[in-house]
Structure 1
Amino acid sequence: MGKVATSNIKSGTALEQRYTFEVRCRGMKPATPLPMKIYFEGNTDANGMLNLTSAGQAGVAQGVAIELKDDKGTKLPFNKPDAINMDWQRSEVDAEVYRFSGSARYTASGGEIKPGKADATMTYVLDYN
């Protein structure tokens, strides 16, 4: 996500980084898209907020988290009951293709903001029938 000035995080003006990925569900009959939902797993205290890896350790930024939203502005869910729909894109010969688009940005998480390493990891989980 690059380097961001602490003043931009404090003021809420840190730039969003957009990302997109596609999921191909193989072995399905063409033109029969299933309802596909997605939710995420990671070190979090609330939907849409991802805590930094190794938070509280020397050299790691403080007072910072990563805010995550889908392309509609919905905070990313970190539990199955809040899973959101993925967008069906197209049928292929042996697969249905879905797309997810979202954004991430550094945001204040409370307390004094101090510079440092600001990495985090999350996993996406697909829910379909």
Structure 2
Amino acid sequence: MKLNKYYLLTSCLAVGSFTHAQVPVKGMVTDEHKEALAYTTVRLLRSDSTFVQGTVTDSIGCYRLENVQKGSYLLSFSSIGYEAKIYPFTVGGEDTEKALPVVYLKENSVLLGEVEVKGSSFIRQKDRVLIIPDKQQV
């Protein structure tokens, strides 16, 4: 099968311009005391809150999102014990890599009430019932 030179040239240019329009976005997440927050959920959203891609921070609080196309985005950060935060940013056509400023998450302590767990000492199966005696019955 023969391909003409024009077809090869246009397909290479299309692939080249497509890959050039995608850049990595990186940054770091810390708490208010500038301690790195490991394993924080990072979600890349379009400006209408449509999910694009996501990742988690590494053990030193750094994250990296690959192949982000030109446009306006929101970054959503969430971690257990901290208030969620949304950071708007834009990727321009001239960017080769987008380094965002450090994001600080604020502590959010929620005190839970008493929890009581109850269970049954009977386990019903098809052909039998298992009875597990408690401490007093033993």
Do both share a fold (TM > 0.5)? Answer: no
Q: Kindly name which structure, 1 or 2, has the bigger radius of gyration based on alpha carbons.
A: 2
Q: Higher helix share goes to which structure?
A: 2
Band of TM-score, shorter chain: 0.3 to 0.5
Q: TM-score, normalised by structure 1?
A: 0.37
If asked which structure has higher relative contact order (CA below 8 Å, sep 6+), I would say 1
